[in-house]
Amino acid sequence: MAKKFYVTTPIYYVNALPHIGHASTTIATDALARYHKLLGERTYFLTGTDEHGSTVAEAAEKAGKSPRKYVDEVTRKYRKTWPKLNIEYDYFIRTTDPKHEKLVQEFITKIYKKGDIYKGRYEGLYCIGCEKFLTESDLVEGKCPLHPNRKPEKQSEENYFFKLKKYQPLLIKALENKSDPRHYEIYPRERYNEVIKTLKGGIEDTSISRAKVEWGIPLPWDKKQTIYVWIDALLNYITALKITGNQWAWPAEVHVIAKDILWFHCIIWQALLISAGIKLPKKIFVHSYYTIDGRKMSKSVGNVISVDDLVKRYGADGARYLILSTFPASSDGDVGYSKFDIKYNADLANGLGNLVARVAKLCEKSGFDFKPTKSQLYPQIKKPLGQFQFEETLGFIWQKKIAAGDKLVDQEKPWELSGKKLETVLKKLVKEIRQISFNLQPFLPKTAEKIEKQFAGPKIKSEKPLFPRL
């Protein structure tokens, strides 16, 4: 039986439109899905939108719309955005789908009946931006470091609690012990260490319902409460498979997320799954943040780079390349239009675009016939991709393969050659270019397709530049 590969993005809040941050996660996930498909695995790629909770309700109110109307509008925009970046997901889940809502209620009832949920009182500082209670140690100068413009609110209410603490030893064991049946991995190492440290420092039970948030899924046994939006959201990874009849895909091979939602994915989600007797995902890849020209991206600074802007300026594959080749893995990555422009011109307009154009022109002029050649994935990209190192992977293709093609052209000077000698050099170059485009499929899918068509042979002709210079 073919290996399977189930990969997910976080489901994004519909209180804002997709920007480069959301795009980075989704593009990385898409590249992984495409790579594993190329390996012949049975692949499933899930994304979607997180539509409940007070952040969303608040955004709807600001927009002067009912939550229902508001979420329908924003989620439509999300769906329209992803194809602009050549994203090909298998399913787009919405947490306001009644089928999802019902499955969430069933799940929560199951662990309630098991005795893992009890009623208690919560008192603490709540950050609406994060949709979570903060502890003293989370605060920086009395404010949430991620949402410094929103004052954390004192909240006190009766909630239902999940017995998270009970799962602490099991989680530590699952992480540390490779032969544990529940073993799961967190990449990169820095994030793994963070999770282990948090777990060993001791964790408390966590509230899973809200008394004052109306825009949510009612708690089945106490309709005055709604299910905490984060519990509702995490469950999407499983409900989507049930809704579409794709249970074969569970457990996920990889959940791709960023560091802001580490706690929910690496601790709460895993404990909920253990409680419900469901297998744990294999890996969680936690990337870092983009900053823009040295500053945190935010509406108030006015430096948000939207997906539409990126695509307008660099094209879909251009944007994919710029994001993946500057991917913020272990630490935050700083980008901006001026840096992107330079990289675009150097690596795409020159680099790849130039090599392809030069060789095509020489082939056209030569009039030779070019027979098909066999391409395969470079073995060297297996390791970096296995560790979610997109920068290294593309770096290899550009610095080792594209640069080698350029060097070959410069050294052999095909324009000074003719006859058999010219044919040998061009054949070699054509083979290399086909090989490069084959390997670009997961990252620059439309570009790879274009090159493949152009270089299919027997005749090879000049075409429009792949990446017009800015």
- Please confirm, yes or no, whether 363 is among the known catalytic residues: no
Give whichever of 55 and 393 is closer to ligand MSP, judged by the CB atom.
55
Stretch that binds ligand MSP, among 8-16, 74-82, 382-390, 399-407 (CB under 6 A): 8-16
What are the backbone dihedrals phi and psi of residue 387, each rounded to the nearest 5 degrees, phi first? Answer: -110, 20
Nearest of 237, 223, 447, 235 to residue 355 by alpha carbon:
447
Give me the least distance between CB of 122 and ligand MSP, in Å please: 21
Residue 136 is classified by DSSP as G
- CA 358, CA 347: separation in Å to the nearest integer? 15
> Measured in whole angstroms, how far is the alpha carbon of residue 351 from the centre of its chain?
26
Cβ-proximal residue to ligand MSP, closest one? 21
Concerning whether 299 is annotated as a catalytic residue, the answer is yes
Mark the segment that binds ligand MSP (CB under 6 A) among 16-24, 63-71, 304-312, 397-405.
16-24
Catalytic residue among 36, 52, 127, 343: 127
Q: Is the dihedral of CA 32, 38, 41, 47 positive or negative?
A: positive
22 in catalytic set: yes
Check: CB of residue 159 under 8 Å from CB of residue 211: yes
Closest contact distance (angstroms) between CB of 195 and ligand MSP is 15
Annotated catalytic residue 255: no
Interface residue with ligand MSP, options 5, 6, 13, 396 (CB under 6 A): 13
Q: Active site includes 127?
A: yes
Cis ω before 188 (30° cut-off from 0): yes
CA distance 24 to 22: 5
If the CB atoms of residues 257 and 460 are measured against ligand MSP, the closer one turns out to be 257
438 binding ligand MSP? (CB under 6 A): no
Q: By CB under 6 A, tell whether 311 contacts ligand MSP.
A: no
CA distance 276 to 411: 64
Distance CA 207, CA 292 (A): 35
List 10, 216, 351, 353, residue binding ligand MSP (CB under 6 A): 10
The position carrying tokens 């052209």 is 409
Q: Is 266 a catalytic residue?
A: no
**Residues 8, 10, 15, 18: what is their CA dihedral angle, to the nearest 10 degrees?**
-60
Question: Is 117 an interacting residue with respect to ligand MSP (CB under 6 A)?
Answer: no
Residue with smaller CB distance to ligand MSP, 225 or 239: 239
Q: Is the Cβ–Cβ distance between 229 and 213 less than 8 Å?
A: yes
What's the N-to-C CA distance of the chain in angstroms? 48
Q: Where are the alpha helices (DSSP H) in 344-444?
A: 353-366, 382-386, 390-396, 403-412, 419-440
Residue whose pair of structure tokens reads 């270019």 in the numeric block: 433
Nearer to ligand MSP, 124 or 333 (CB): 333
Q: Name the segment binding ligand MSP (CB under 6 A); options: 110-118, 258-266, 381-389, 462-470.
A: 258-266
Distance in Å, CB of 299 to ligand MSP, minimum = 12
Q: How far is CA 62 from CA 15, 74, 331, in A?
A: 10, 14, 34
Question: Is 130 a known active-site residue?
Answer: yes
Our finding on whether 48 is near ligand MSP (CB under 6 A) is no
254 binds ligand MSP (CB under 6 A): no
Selected binder of ligand MSP within 257, 310, 359, 436 (CB under 6 A) = 257
Q: Are 388 and 329 in contact (CB under 8 A)?
A: yes
What letter would DSSP give residue 330?
S
Give the alpha-carbon dihedral of 95, 98, 104, 106, to 10 degrees. Answer: -170
296 included as an active-site residue: yes
State yes or no: residue 29 binds ligand MSP (CB under 6 A). Answer: no
Under the binding rule (CB under 6 A), the answer on residue 289 touching ligand MSP is yes
Q: Does 7 bind ligand MSP (CB under 6 A)?
A: no
Whole-number minimum distance, CB 431 to ligand MSP, in Å?
A: 38
Query: What residues make contact with ligand MSP under the rule CB under 6 A?
Result: 10-13, 21-22, 24-25, 50, 233-234, 236, 257-258, 260-261, 289-290, 297
Hey, which residues are catalytic here?
19, 22, 127, 130, 144, 147, 296, 299
